[in-house]
Amino acid sequence: MKRYGKKKWRRCVADVVEKLAAGLEPDDVVLGGGNVKFLKTMPAKCRAGDNANAFKGGFRLWEDGPMYSATQKPHAVSAGGSRPMDKSRAVGK
């Protein structure tokens, strides 16, 4: 945001969300992070979420078994600031 300014940053966020949604076809895109408050309006099919939800989603990715069957699509995609976590670092491991 500092590099591009708020106006251009907002356009970049909208562009990334549009491409993410087109590629993954989620029902819902959850945007997290401290800068989400600087969006004037949320992109289509988006909602603001808490960063804690990104961690929950990350842990779900590492659970044993498929998240969904081959004929279903995921219900939400988190676009928070979390990095993929090494399974060995998961809570309780």
Per-residue pLDDT tens digits of the chain, which is 93 residues long: 889 999 999 999 999 999 988 998 888 888 887 888 899 998 888 888 877 777 777 777 777 655 555 555 555 555 554 444 444 444 444
Domains of the chain (ranges; CATH) run 6-64+71-81 (3.30.420.40)
The two counts, helices (H) then strands (E), for the chain are 2, 3
State how beta strands 28-31 and 76-78 pair: parallel
